[in-house]
Amino acid sequence: MSGSRSGDRRSAARGDFILFESLKLQNALIPCLAKRQDEEVFRSLAGALGRCFPLLRGIAGWADSWGQYSIVSDHSGEKTSLMGSDWDKLPGSDGWSREPVAISLPSSAGAPSVTSFVIPFRDGAAVVGFLGLEAAAAAPGEAPDDVTVAILSGAIAPLSALLLERIRESRLESMREMTATALQRSERRFFDFIEGSHDMIYIADGQDVIALVNRAGEELLGRPKREILGRHFSEFCHFGVDRAFFLDKLHHDGFARDFEETLTRADAEAVFVSESASAQRRPDGSLVEIHGIIRDITERLQSQKALWESNLELAAANSELKRTQLAMVQQEKLASIGQLAAGIAHEINNPLGFLISDFRALGDAATSLAATLPGESEGHPGGPLGDLISELPVIIAEMDDGFRRIKEIVVNLRTFARSDRDGAFSRYDLDDGLRRALVIARNEIKYVAEVVLNLGAPGEIEANAREIDQVLLNLLVNAAQAIGGENRGVPGRITVSSGLAEGLAWVEIADDGPGVPIESATRIFEPFFTTKDVGKGTGLGLSISYDIVARKHGGTLSLLNPGTAGAVFRVELPAAKGLKDGDAAT
């Protein structure tokens, strides 16, 4: 009995000792939990364990928020990294126990592995840390005894929930700090991206009110942010209908790509831009927010405009070149015809001179013969021969008139068809030119119209005679063809007038034909435009005439009465130097 009671007393004393030492160790560990960082907490805990058990080494291990596993001892204070495989050796979900667990871990001091007694702390299934004891380097075979293990378990077990909560809070705080740091970094990257962009970037709400804009947007709109934020985007649009169409597209498709529109700067200058945007929409399709990027394309459009203008100029130059080439071909044809006509006139002129000379000799001989023949009365012989001789003067007079007219046509044709290939200017009398042109055009005119002359003696001009002759002939022939095209059965009328006014010699050629419709009036001087039937006109006559008068002689050729019956064309050319109004008439 005495032995049993003695054993109970020893057991009770042992229990009291363990409880006392556990409370003592617990009091040493509690202040360590007030440290801020996990590493500081576990270093302090390892140090407290080492101080309470001088013959052993206090150890602590933890997993930080980055997934790094570390172990530290109170002896060296050095932190040693653990491999994930070593950390996985700690008890898992079905190995959890509040009793210390014997496990072999690498020594924190780099010594061979020793047996450690540790108490792991789990957050769910994951082990987040442990506390324990191991043999000191001086006595690697010395392991904690049962009393030491009991003291360790008794001290830590009541603190496990508090320590685990402290670890959780620390990890959450670390996560919050990491999240805040990442968020700040993300915000900074976003800000740098937005502000560093050379294109305008903006965010607007569902009502298209601008909530954010970058520095490039300020420069594009020529306004500070305070004058942009809180305003409807349409206030900066040059054409409100553009923005309405853009928003409608966002409602329908949820995005818009390369939408071109025109914005207005603070200085009222128009800016041409291209916008791409996406929209956050509610299920009903209404807009929540608009994210847009706008690029200034003014320079690009100006370059395109310059290119278009250059192309138009090239096209116009090409058209002018073709027109000039065709005009030159026509001029060469006319010059060739003129040379041919001049040659024919020359060939006609020589035998015509012989005929006129011989005819006059024949007339003189007939008169002498009539004077020598006897007749019923003096100077007038009788009978058939006398009748024939008496008719000779009339016949001779008619033939003389015919020869005169032939000679006039030949002379005018030679004058009109002279070459003037050097393009030299000389004194030119407009009235003489009109008379020559009327002689040449007589065959076109005589069957369709009568000519009324109202020549006011405009005098001389400085001109290329062949070219001005051609202009006058073209206008007369056009007038005759316009009247003839009506097939009216009775002659029409062509009125030719001339005069001098304000230093300009002028000619007007009017006809009573159908006139020129208003829709054709603006094109009648264009190459190849004609109102005549197919095959009856090339459309080059008026074009060449306009080029001769306006470009080569500095004058004007115009239609005075478009859209009315009859056509009146007026040619104005600078009078010769020193000639004033009224000088030519005198």
The position carrying tokens 């130097």 is: 577
pLDDT on residue 109: 45
Bigger pLDDT: 174 vs 498: 498
Hey, is 100 helix, strand or coil? Answer: coil
Cα 496 from Cα 513, distance rounded (Å): 14
pLDDT (tens digit, 9 = 90+) per residue, 259-269?
Answer: 999 999 999 89
pLDDT (tens digit, 9 = 90+) per residue, 71-128?
Answer: 787 765 566 665 555 565 665 443 344 566 666 665 544 455 566 778 887 777 677 7
Mean pLDDT of the chain: 78
Q: In this structure, are residues 446 and 415 in contact, taking their beta carbons and an 8 Å threshold?
A: no
pLDDT (tens digit, 9 = 90+) per residue, 31-54?
Answer: 888 877 777 888 888 888 888 888
Q: H/E/C letters for each residue in 62-81?
A: EECCCCCEEEEECCCCCEEE
Q: Which residues touch 278 (CB under 8 Å, ≥6 apart)?
A: 254, 255, 290, 291
Buried b (16+ CB within 10 A) or exposed e, 428-457: bbbbebbbbbbbbbbebbeebbebeeeebb
Q: Beta strands 449-454 and 492-501: pairing type? A: parallel
Name the token pair of 158.
Answer: 């009541």
pLDDT at 419 over 60: no
Model-level pTM greater than 0.85? no
The position carrying tokens 């607007």 is: 204
pLDDT (tens digit, 9 = 90+) per residue, 138-160?
Answer: 455 556 777 887 888 888 877 77
Q: What is the dihedral of CA 232, 234, 237, 238, to 10 degrees?
A: -130
Name the token pair of 290.
Answer: 């608009």
Pick from 542, 540, 520: nearest CA to 531: 520
Cα 88 from Cα 82, distance rounded (Å): 10
Q: What is the dihedral of CA 451, 452, 458, 464, to 10 degrees?
A: -10
Name the token pair of 383.
Answer: 């009978």
